[in-house]
């Protein structure tokens, strides 16, 4: 299975989870897209440094832009954006959508709405500090 196939599957699964499984519908909100835009910029910077300096390398037959015969990755083009494969951007989107979706879903379920300090509630042998 290629990196491209896995990246597309990750995006599709994240969108399905957002809309039907978690029912958070984050992709329909302007706030999500503004937050994602901020994260996207930093993802491009990080991926650009790591792939542009060839700290991270990808097999040409596993990503979009097959047939890139150059010794080093392109800045833009050949299936890359700021040196990074477009698949990295797809994985980043899926990761952000999953994390924020689960966070919103857990918040709706009332999981620790008010932060509490002290020992875990499941420990009965420790008295809370006053």
- What band does 3 get if pLDDT is binned at 50, 70 and 90? confident
| Residue 36 phi, psi (nearest 5) | -65, -40
Q: Which two tokens stand for residue 117?
A: 């300090």
Q: What is the pTM of this model?
A: 0.73
pLDDT, tens only, 34-79: 999 999 999 989 988 888 788 887 777 767 765 555 566 676 766 7
- What is the pLDDT at residue 108? 86
- What is the pLDDT at residue 118? 67
Picking from 14-18, 32-36, 81-85, 89-93, which range would have the lowest pLDDT averaged per residue?
Answer: 81-85
Judged by DSSP in three states, 81 sits in strand
- What is the pLDDT at residue 59? 72
Neighbouring-strand partners of residue 84: 81
Q: Which position has the higher pLDDT, 3 or 61?
A: 3
How much of the chain exceeds pLDDT 70, in percent?
Answer: 72
- What band does 26 get if pLDDT is binned at 50, 70 and 90? very high
DSSP designation for 80: E
Q: Quick check: 85 and 64 in contact, CB under 8 A?
A: yes
Q: Tell whether the model's pLDDT for residue 127 goes beyond 70.
A: no
């Amino acid at each position: 299975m290629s990196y491209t196939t896995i990246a597309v599957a990750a995006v599709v699964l994240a969108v399905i989870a957002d809309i039907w499984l978690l029912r958070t519908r984050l992709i329909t909100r302007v706030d999500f897209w503004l937050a994602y835009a901020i994260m996207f910029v930093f993802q491009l910077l990080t991926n650009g440094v790591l792939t542009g300096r060839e700290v991270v390398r990808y097999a040409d037959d596993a990503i979009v832009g097959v047939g890139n015969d150059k010794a080093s990755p392109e800045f833009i083009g050949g299936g890359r954006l700021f040196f990074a494969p477009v698949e990295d951007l797809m994985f980043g989107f899926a990761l952000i959508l999953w994390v924020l979706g689960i966070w919103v879903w857990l918040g709706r379920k009332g999981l620790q709405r008010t932060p509490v300090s002290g020992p875990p509630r499941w420990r009965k042998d420790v008295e809370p500090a006053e």
